[in-house]
Each structure stands twice: as structure tokens, then as C-alpha cells.
Amino acid sequence: MRFDSLDAWLTWQGQLNPTEIELGLERVRVVLQRLQLASPDFAVITIAGTNGKGSSVAMLQSIYRAAGYHVGAYTSPHLQRYNERITLNGVEADDALLCDAFEQIELARCADEDEIPLTYFEFGTLAAIVIFQQARVDIGVLEIGLGGRLDAVNAIEPDIALVTMVDVDHQSWLGNDRETIAREKAGIYRANLPAICAEPKPARSLVAHAAAIGAQYYGLNGQFSYGLVSEVNDGSWFWQCDQQQYEALPPLGLSGAFQLQNAAGVLMAVTLLQLRFAVALSAIESGLKQVRVAGRLQRVVLSGAHVQVECLLDVAHNPSSAQVLCEALLERPCEGETHAVVAMLADKDIAAVIATMTPVITRWHVASLDAAVCDRGASAETLAACLTTASDPLAVSSFDDVAGATAAALANARAGDRVVIFGSFYTVAAAKTFFEDVGCCAAN
């Protein structure tokens, strides 16, 4: 099978396997073997977690790029373009590179009488490995898509495995409580290899699994720690472990105090790889200052006739990420009102997210997601119904789409107000498209 465009490849991949999500490692392992990529030539850092994965990938990529290494990064989902998922030194893979990788995977998938029915996500995971191998990267940083133990990315053996914050999400696939979900995410750990946890109070099941398999466990506030430098008020912070300490690191390029927790886990990984990939303090400082991630407290700069209000985009879509967003907004209060634009997937804990955000929101603009893009979206009416018990009904407006809700929020905002857009990757993607259409630009 061969297609001439990326869109055609992606459409076909979505139809190949009737199951959108089919957890398991065997399909990817077989194709990796056929591609002779079961043991790629580059170092692999695998990252799992409920929240903080994308930020951790970005920090690692930024630090190693600053140190002069050739770095590949694989993340999901994308916001606006599939190409965002696979980057080389921060540059998105172009259509031709992706199509060539897909063709190689398809030949390998069908190389035996037993064709492998890969999923859409598995094609992307394999494409990342193919592209990184061809580009001869030094390090590949791979984000787990869902869970850990049975996620396609876990078919690739890591040199270091990092788990960020764990909370309840994706219950249909991972379990209904934090202990069960944490055990799934700990499935990326390996015997006798570094297993990092960047959460100060990890689930017992995660720590127990690391011990049971004989992983080299490194836990936040155990084997490593961080904190603000109290003598000054410039955002500098320290990090330390038995092997290394940094006394005055610069503020991160990512907004929100919570990002220091993610950065702490990242620095543990960098420290553990120092013998293979030496990184000077200057590269760590530069990488941390320059890191950017779309859709994480991302500012939008308004232009033209728009009133000058602060606009923030955030992909927060579960209670824990909503709590982080709420705390970040409390850390940086605005002079006026805070307008929310929110659209969410129907299978998320909508009521809990709304309840978490209510203390910092003055006016709500709820929207339905475009059914042509996402058929799992909750209706604006569903969101509004949740808000009637959590907020003043007069402060809630409903819209058919995110663009309409965003336009209304901007129209109602006055100087000194701010607009916060959150709820899902689809929500942020739709808002970014709206801002591009009206001539605004996004920047951290």
C-alpha cells in the first residue's frame, strides 16, 4: 500500500484497525523486528504520567539541544498538525519524511503472510523510531500515549524511564483508582535500569513495582529534591541529588510553579545520563530558559482592534490538571474579570473540572466541539448544566463551537480582564486556529 499524501496515509491508518485504541505490545514488537529496529542505535528516555509528560519531553529536548546533541522527540496528541508529534531538534517532521516512514512500516507490516493490523497510534510510534534511526539522533525522548505497561511506546526498551504526576484519568482502559493507574504507568520501568518518579507522594503501587522488578528507583524528595532559593525573589531555584547539585538555576521558560516538579525529574534523568551524554551547567540553564510547549499556559498576543486583555491557552482536561491551572491563575491574579472558554470530551470528569476552576472564573463561555473533528465531545448544553449548580447561571453562555465562544469572550472582555481557554487538546487547537484567522499570534 502506498499513498501520495500524508492525509491519505492517516485516513487509511484510521480505517485499518477497527479499534481506535487497542493496548498491547506484540504488534509493534513484531514490526520493529521486521524493520531491524528492535534495538535502535540511539538512547531512549521514556516518559509516562497523567500530567506533565509533554512539558518533561520539551525540557529534555531543549537541554540536550543546548548541549549540542541531536535529539528526536515523540509526543501525542497533536494540536493542529500531525507533524507536531515527531520532531528532530525541535523541527517538525515534514510530510515527505512521514510518508516515507509509513511506507517502510507498511512493507514490514505485510512482509509475512500474517499481516499485522496496526492502529493509528502504533503507526505513529513506529514512524518516530524509523525517522530517529535514519536521522542518527543521539537521544530519542518518547512520550507514552496512554497508561504505560501496554502502550505501544513501551515496546521500545528505554535507557531511562520517567513517570510524572499520576491521577485518575482514562478509567475505561487503566482502572478506576490512582493505585491501579500508577501500577500501569510503572510498567515502563525496567529491571536494573533507572526508574524516576517526579511526584513527591507517589502511589504505593508504583514504588512497590519498581522494587519488585529490581529497578534503580529515584524518587522526588527521596533520591533527589528541589526548592526555591529563599534569599532572593527572582524565581531562581536549586536542585540536588547525591551525585550533583545546582544552587541557583534560572526560572523556567514555562509558566507555573508546578513546572519545577517536572523539571526536577528531568534533571535527574540528565544527571543519570551524564557519563554517556555530558551536559554542562550552561546548557542546562539555557535549555530550561528557552523551553516552550504549546497549549500549556500559553499566552496569545492580541493585535488590531482587539481590547488588550491577557489570553491563555491550556490543555487542562482532568481534575488534577485543572487544579494546577487554577493555582497558576491564583499566582498571577488579573485586575479585572477572568473569562473562561471551555469545551471538553464527554468521557472526562466534567463536573470535577468545573468545580475546580470555579473559584477563579468570573464568566463562563461553554462550547461544543466540532463533531467532524471529534465525535467524543460533550455538548455545550451538558457543560452549562454542570455550571448551573456551580456558578451563577447568568454568567454562563453557550456556543456551537470554540471559535464562537472565544469571539464572545473577547467581545465581552474589558481592559484588565483575561480570557482562559481550556478543556482539551481539541479546544486549544480550535482556539489557536481562531486566533490565527483573526491575525493574533501565540507566544509563551
SS (H, E, C) the chain: CCCCCHHHHHHHHHHHCCCCCCCCCHHHHHHHHHCCCCCCCCEEEEEECCECHHHHHHHHHHHHHHCCCCEEEECCCCCCCHHHHEEECCEECCHHHHHHHHHHHHHHHCCCCCCCCCCHHHHHHHHHHHHHHHHCCCEEEEECCCCCCCCHHHHCCCCEEEECECCCCCHHHHCCCHHHHHHHHHHHCCCCCEEEECCCCCCHHHHHHHHHHCCEEEEECCCEEEEECCCCCCCCEEEEECCCEEEEECCCCCCCCCHHHHHHHHHHHHHHCCCCCCCCHHHHHHHHHHCCCCCCCEEEECCCCCCCCEEEECCCCCHHHHHHHHHHHHHCCCCCCEEEEECCECCCCHHHHHHHHHHHCCEEEEECCCCCCCCCECCHHHHHHHHCCCCCHHHEEEECCHHHHHHHHHHHCCCCCEEEEECCHHHHHHHHHHHHHCCCEEEC
In CATH, which superfamily holds the domain spanning 6-290? Answer: Mur-like, catalytic domain (3.40.1190.10)
Inter-axis angle of helices 120-135 and 6-16, to 10 degrees?
A: 130
Kindly give the pairing relationship between strand 441-443 and strand 298-301.
antiparallel
| Class of residue 145 by CB neighbours under 10 A (exposed 0-12, middle 13-18, buried 19+) | buried
Q: What is the pLDDT of residue 232?
A: 64
Name the architecture of domain 298-443: Alpha-Beta Complex (3.90)
* CB of 46 closer than 8 Å to CB of 162: yes
Distance of CA 243 to the CA centre of its chain: 29
* CB of 398 closer than 8 Å to CB of 338: no
Whole-structure pTM value: 0.92
Q: What is the pLDDT of residue 112?
A: 78
303: phi then psi, degrees, rounded to nearest 5: -140, 170
Where does residue 271 fall: left (phi above 0), alpha (psi -120 to 50 degrees), or beta otherwise? alpha
Per-residue pLDDT of the chain (444 residues; tens, 9 = 90+): 789 899 999 999 988 876 666 778 999 999 999 999 999 999 999 999 998 999 999 999 999 999 999 999 999 999 999 999 999 999 999 999 999 999 999 999 998 778 899 999 999 999 999 999 999 999 999 999 988 899 999 999 999 999 999 986 655 556 668 899 999 999 999 999 999 999 999 999 999 999 999 999 999 999 999 999 876 667 899 999 998 999 999 999 998 888 999 999 999 999 999 999 999 999 999 999 999 999 989 988 776 555 678 899 999 999 989 999 999 999 888 889 999 999 999 988 999 999 999 999 999 999 999 877 777 899 999 999 988 766 666 689 999 999 999 999 999 998 889 999 999 999 999 999 999 887 766 555
Q: What is the pLDDT of residue 389?
A: 66
Domain ranges of the chain: 6-290, 298-443
Q: What is the pLDDT of residue 306?
A: 57
Joined grid coordinates for residue 100: 516515507
